[in-house]
Amino acid sequence: DLKDTDVERFAAKKPRPVSLHSCLHEFARPAELAAFLHDEIPVRFAERIRWIEQVPEWKEIPELVDAHLKHMASFSYMRKADPKEPVKFQGSLQRILKRQDNMVELMSHAMQRLRSVRGGQDFDGFSNKFLDNFLLNRLGCNLLMTHYLAIAHPGRHTIGIIDPQCDAVEVCREAAQDVQNACRDFLGRAPPLEVQGFSQGAPTAGFAPRFAYIPGILSFIVRELLKNSFRATLDLETDLADLENRPVQIIVCADEDHVMIRISDRAQGIPIDVGTRVWSYMYTTSKKASPLSGYGVGLPLSRLHARYLGGSLQLVSLPGFGTDAYLSLPRVDTQMVEVVPDCDEHESVEYSFTV
Ligand code: W6P
């Protein structure tokens, strides 16, 4: 069995973020990616293990104990895996990924319990930073492992999970179709929706910007934003004629360096008392989970997906009118580098557990 010192040894190493460019070239070759993952995944898991251990008296929080156990198991699993045996290595990655399945839910429940039993000053500030770091680390690991599994089964034009010619308008259209269908199934109707592409140098609409990207990331973000816009629009309980005056609009545009996507709704904006809590993992507008709401972490998680390769996500609320979401993504694969949180001392040590 592996000793704690092994985790410590790996926690002391710096994570090595990779670029989308290298995932399309050196790390599109299974042997090279396997060797990298065998070294790198334990470093990133050790970081998460240390962050859990830095929460004062973490052993009293059952969800943290559970998460710690799962990460220790995955850490030693990866250490024992043989990157030179592709089929076995794939199996190991599948098991590690499976163990991460409910990790977002588990960790947000951990923070909810921590808040309810300990409280303390600025708890939400602490827990949001903790979850941003923890879940961004997880996102990078999961995507790299999924990329490895995907390069073993080449698609028609994708390389692993990357589409070198990703059509952002097409991804938005597909996401919109699915969310509209879910909305109609679940709430009986959906707001009208329009998707338009523009590109610098092309004076009219209908020009689709293409770029090398992970379509799954873009699709995830657009779906989450649309779910929010649709839900807010239908929550107004307008009649059908009025609904026609509240279209949701998606604009996709690009220059050489960026792809920008604006999603606009006419749902009267974000209520003033909600404010920046839209970015909180601890806050949700829906009482129970549904296909259109999940469990309330969609927006902070979407922002992490945007940030992962150097992009950003912002919301602008126009009071009484509607909400604009701005998603900005870098367009050049050499400029798209993973953001991997690397803090030696997690700020949880400074967090005061006053009751
Ligand atoms: C709203 C609230 C919201 C959050 C995120 C994205 C869009 C919207 N629209 O009314």
Kindly state if the Cβ of 52 falls inside 6 Å of ligand 1: no
pLDDT at position 354: 43
Instruction: Determine phi and psi for 177, rounding to 5 degrees.
Output: -55, -50
Q: Ligand 1 centroid to 256 CA: how many Å?
A: 29
Task: Note the pLDDT tens digit of each residue in 30-63.
Answer: 999 999 999 999 999 999 999 999 999 999 999 9
pLDDT at 124 over 70: yes
Q: What pLDDT is attached to residue 295?
A: 63
- pLDDT averaged over every residue in the chain: 91
User: What pLDDT score does 314 carry?
Assistant: 97
- Quick one: average pLDDT of 298-305? 97
* Residue bearing the bigger pLDDT, 204 or 306: 306
Give the best-scoring range by mean pLDDT among 181-190, 206-215, 278-287. 181-190
Quote the pLDDT of residue 119. 77
Mean pLDDT, residues 105-109 = 95
Supply the pLDDT for residue 241.
74
* Amino acid 355: pLDDT: 35
Q: Whose CA is nearest to atom 4 of ligand 1?
A: 228
pLDDT at 158 over 80: yes
Question: pLDDT grade, residue 101 (50/70/90)?
Answer: very high
Instruction: State mean pLDDT over 196-214.
Output: 77
- Residue of minimum CA distance from atom 5 in ligand 1: 228
Give the pTM. Answer: 0.94
Pick 291 or 317 by higher pLDDT: 317
What is the reported pLDDT for 287? 62
Mutating to test ligand 1, I would choose from 323, 326, 327 the residue with most ligand atoms within 8 A of its C-beta, which is 323
In short, whether 325's Cβ falls inside 6 Å of ligand 1 is yes
